Amino acid sequence: MNTINILLALPNKGRLQKPALKLLEEADINVTTTDREYLADTSEPQLQIIFARASDIPVYVHFGATDLGITGHDLILERSSDVYELMNLAFGKCKLVLAVPNNSEILSLEDLPNGVKIATEFPNITDSYFGEKGKKVELITVHGATEITPILGLADAIVDLVSTGSTLKSNNLRPIETILTSTARLVCNKISLRTKEKTINSIVKKLKTKL
């Protein structure tokens, strides 16, 4: 009972999952098989892994449901989770951009009319971004396929993640503003780092040698 165990949350799917598992593998932390669906042991006796949605991982870590997590910087900001960002893992690089249809008259942020409709999966970041810029916008929160909302006439512009830009292109959208750039991070619960410092630092050290 007194051995210090560390629980690490990894994305259960999506673009961050494979590189996250690869990073662990390269650091000689092997995920051993498990009969449980979402929980796995590792070759490190003190480290267990739990698989969760990348967008929920900041919340898990904030409240100490898990000690560590690997998730995107964008998602940490969107969930406004108060966590330590111990490592920039460099993979999962992407930008959150404001994009408009190719044929739109809007060429820059200044052209946005008041009350413009913006669809996004990132309502909190988008809201505070336009708040800071002093622009009044109408947010439409969607959960995926944001890029089709202008075609359907639901939105005048979108705020969405791009990694290569091909999705935007194929939907006749062009980016006019970068709101933030993001990469995957190793995040840590603020109490866990205090109470399990040695064990967490040894894991961080292992990962750091592989970056």
Partner 1 sequence: MDTRLQTPRGTTDYLPEESYKRRIAEDSFRRTFELWGYQEIRTPTFEFFQVLATGTGAELEDSMFKFQDKSGRLLALRAEMTASIARVVGTQLLNEPKPIRLWYIANMFRYDEPQAGRQREFWQAGVELVGSDKIQADIEVVALMTQALRNICLKDVRVDVGHVGIFKEIMKEARLNADIVNAIRVSIDKKDSEGLEKTLNTEQIDEQTKQILRALLESRGGVEVLDKISSLVDNQKITDIINNLKKVLLELQGFGVSEEFVTVDLGIIRGLDYYTGVVFEAYVPDLGIAIGGGGRYDGLIGDFASFEIPATGFAIGIDRCIMALEKQKFQYPDKVKASVLILPVSKEMNIEVNKIANKLREDGITVEAEISGWSVSKGLSYANKMKIPYVIIVGEEEYRSKAVVVKAMSAEKQDQVKIKELTNFLKEKT
Q: Footprint of partner 1 on this chain (CB under 8 A)?
A: 59, 62-65, 83-88, 188-197
DSSP 60-120: HHHTTSSSEEEEEHHHHHHTT---EEEEE---S-EEEEEEEETT-S--SGGGPPTTEEEEE
Q: Are 89 and 69 in contact (CB under 8 A)?
A: no
Q: Give the position of tokens 């439409």.
A: 140
Closest to partner 1 by CB, 88 vs 202, is: 88
Cα 106–Cα 112–Cα 117 angle in degrees, nearest 5: 100
Closest to partner 1 by CB, 13 vs 194, is: 194
Q: Are 58 and 66 in contact (CB under 8 A)?
A: no
CA distances from 205 to 39, 92, 211 (A): 23, 21, 10
Spatial CA neighbour of 68 closest among 144, 8, 126: 8
Cβ 33 to partner 1 shortest distance, Å: 28
Cβ 58 to partner 1 shortest distance, Å: 12
Cβ 59 to partner 1 shortest distance, Å: 8
Closest to partner 1 by CB, 1 vs 152, is: 1
Q: How would you list the strands of the sheet with 94-101, edge to edge? A: 137-141, 116-120, 157-162, 94-101, 173-182
Looking at residue 125, its amino acid is I
Cβ 71 to partner 1 shortest distance, Å: 14
Closest to partner 1 by CB, 86 vs 207, is: 86
Closest to partner 1 by CB, 22 vs 194, is: 194
Closest to partner 1 by CB, 76 vs 162, is: 76
Q: Are 67 and 75 in contact (CB under 8 A)?
A: no
Cβ 209 to partner 1 shortest distance, Å: 16
Cβ 197 to partner 1 shortest distance, Å: 7
